[in-house]
Each structure stands twice: as structure tokens, then as C-alpha cells.
Structure 1
Amino acid sequence: MTMDLQMLQIDASEEATVVLEVSTGLRECMVIKAYLLSNTPIEGNFNYKFTSCLCNNYPRRFFWDLQTNSTVRITAVVDVIRELGICPDDWAVIPIKANRFSITKSLP
């Protein structure tokens, strides 16, 4: 699984958008749940969790808007889960070696 985490500062009022792009080289699709963690509490849609089908020819992109007035370390987490009704025809795999992936960056 490949993850790219971008944090875009929108303006001086400390609003930012966190963008997570997830892709896979596996031929089979998988059901993923993406969410954020931080070293300090952040309210609002920062706490949204997204569930989606990830396939090799269709990377997924998730967005969170947040507001903070201090430096924050943010970890984007992607769990591969078992859930019906997300991928077409319910054909999805779960990796044998790992089912949790993460990436961490700081937002100034």
C-alpha cells in the first residue's frame, strides 16, 4: 500500500486541509477505513472516518479540514477491514502480513 499525506495551510487563521491519497499494487480490491490521529485533541471533521473500496486502478483520496493554533503531529491511519457491501460483488481481500498502515507529518 502506498500512502501520501499532504497538509495544505489555507490562510493565516490556522485553517488547514489534510489530504490523504492511498493506492495499492495488488490486483484484488480491499475494503479500507481511513482516519486521523493527533498528539493534541482536534474537534470537528478531523474525527471523520472514511470507509471505501481500494483497487489497483483506482486510488482513493480523502480530505479533512481542521483548525489549530499550534504545531500538531498528525498520523493518517488506513486499516484494511472486513465489511460487506463496500467493494463490487463483495470481492475483497485482506492482506496476510499487515492490515494497518500509517504515515505521520507535522502541521506547523
Structure 2
Amino acid sequence: MPLLQALVRCSITALFLSLCLQLVTGQDDEYDNRKPLIVQMSPLPTAKVNETRELRCNVSTQLKECVAIKFSIYTSPDTSCSQFFQQEACICPGDPPRNFFWNICSQRTVATACLAEIIDDRERCYPNLSVVPTASKRSYAMGKFIVTK
């Protein structure tokens, strides 16, 4: 009888360990490597003082779900002749990168940054399901808007 009990215990333990092994190997290894947001800025053309040029940034995702984003432009120092407004959108997997356009002008050379931030706006991606990751909610790209005299 003790031999039979030991055999049953060993087989239950082996079954449990094989189940755990299947669960571990079944995890998505690419999940940790996917980027929630990828932001790119087009090369900025050179401009003359107060001459308006177009600034283009695009954003995409490597997630398998849609995400609602807020997209904005920042400059340092501030530009005196450009107003930047925040834009919101829904980015879904498989979609081409979403382009955002702004007109920019300045009296001097300025550093520019395109910033995308994931927001909790479930209505923005309706009828698709949108998610909010726990980490990496922001991504940005930086460039320089050169003003010549």
C-alpha cells in the first residue's frame, strides 16, 4: 500500500509540473518587446525669419490592441508666431502610421519635440477595444527648426 501511495503522489506531481511547463512556454515572448508608441518626426526644412513651414510627425503602435492617444508639439524656446493645439486620435494595430501636421514659424532657431501620450479614453476607439498599458505611456521624437536671416 505505501508503494501505491508513493506512485500516485509522484504521478500527480509530474502532471502538475508538466502543466506548469506548458503554461510557461505558451506565453507570448514578443509581448515584452512590443512598443506601445513609436513616434517619428519628418526632417525639418530650414526657414527664414517668420516664414511658415510644415512640421509632420507620425505615430504607430506595435500592440495588438487599439490605444487612444493625445498628440502635441513642444518648442524651446516658445515660438512667437505659431500656435500648437493638442490632437487626439485612436491608433490600432495594422493601421499605417497616423500623420499629424502643424505649421511652424519662428524668429530664431528652436528645438522641437513631438509627444504622444496614451490616454484613458474608451470612447475614442469605439467600437474597437482600447487599452492603457501600465508602463511606457509616452513617446517622443526631437528635432531642430533652423531659422536663417
TM-score between both structures, scaled by the size of structure 2? 0.65
The corresponding residue for 2:79 is: 42
Query: What corresponds to 1:14 in structure 2?
Result: 51
For residues 27-86 of structure 1, what are the alpha-carbon distances to aligned partners after superposition, in whole Å with 9 as ceiling and x for unaligned? 100000000111122256642111000011222110000111211100111110011321
Cα distance change on mapping 1:84 and 1:18 into 2, 3 Å: same
CA–CA separation in structure 2 for the residues paired with 1:10 and 1:72: 11
Q: Give the 3 Å change call, closer, same or farther, for CA 34–42 of structure 1 in structure 2.
A: same
User: Residues 112 and 144 of structure 2 are in contact (CA less than 8 Å); yes or no, is this contact kept in structure 1?
Assistant: yes
Where do 1:27-66 residues align within 5 Å? Answer: 27-43=64-80, 46-58=83-95, 59-66=97-104
Instruction: Answer yes or no: is the 8 Å Cα contact 2:67–2:92 preserved in 1.
Output: yes
User: Normalized per residue, which structure has more helix?
Assistant: 2
Distance of aligned partners of 1:83 and 1:44 in 2 relative to their CA distance in 1, 3 Å threshold: farther
Is the strand fraction higher in 1 or 2?
Answer: 1
Q: Does the 8 Å CA contact 1:9/1:15 hold for their aligned counterparts?
A: no
Give how far 1:95 is off.
1.5
**What does residue 74 of structure 1 align with?**
112
Identity of aligned residues (%): 22
Following the alignment from structure 2 to structure 1, what is the Cα–Cα distance between the partners of residues 75 and 39? 17
Separation in structure 1 between the aligned mates of residue 93 and residue 39 of structure 2, nearest angstrom: 13
Whether 1:4 aligns to 2:40 is: yes
Supply the distance in 1 between the matched residues of 2:52 and 2:136 (Cα, whole angstroms). Answer: 34
The runs of 4+ residues in structure 1 deviating greater than 4 Å are 10-13
Number of residue-to-residue matches in the alignment = 108
The CA RMSD measured in Å over matched residues stands at 2.0
